[in-house]
Amino acid sequence: MNFGQLRNFYRYAFSGENYWLLMRVLRAAWQVRQVIRDSSVTPKLMSALPAINSFYLPPQTNWRLSDAKKVAWFANFIVNFPVRWGKCLQRSLIVYRLLNGYGEPARLYIGVNEQDAAADGHVWVVRICDGDRVFAEAVEPRERFTVIYTSPLP
């Protein structure tokens, strides 16, 4: 790593925006762990449904964010560090909470695979401004999963 790359990393890692985002992601992750007591990597749907409405956070007046994708990046980092403790449910609850808190209205979707009832379901987030496109995921989950729950509009 050369000096320029190190300087850019330092600016990114220690910028005020990123520091506050990391603190907010950590707090949201802690809340997820408090509300969803199922500590398996993929908690059951029944433990998630009662918690979803409590994770809505109205827009916060002093929160600023330059790029909404940072929320997903930080959430992915936290649920995989130091050991993997979460998959889509935990990550999506964190992203859903913080996007809404940053004034980026979002909904949470839960889907199941109708062809394989034994398979896991999937949880994802959609920002309202993006239409019906999934937020920060590599593939479109609706191709494989049938939506069974959508969080209310913020």
What does the pLDDT look like over 44-80, one tens digit per residue? Answer: 677 777 778 889 999 999 999 999 999 999 998 888 8
Q: Are 69 and 136 in contact (CB under 8 A)?
A: yes
Number of domains in the chain: 1
Domain that holds residue 16: 3-150
pLDDT at residue 6 in the model: 67
Cα distance between the two ends of the chain = 43
**Cα 90 from Cα 42, distance rounded (Å):** 9
How many Å separate Cα 1 from the centre of its chain? 31
pLDDT at residue 39 in the model: 65
Q: Global pTM?
A: 0.87
* CB neighbour list of residue 97: distance below 8 Å, 6 or more residues apart: 28, 31, 55, 56, 57
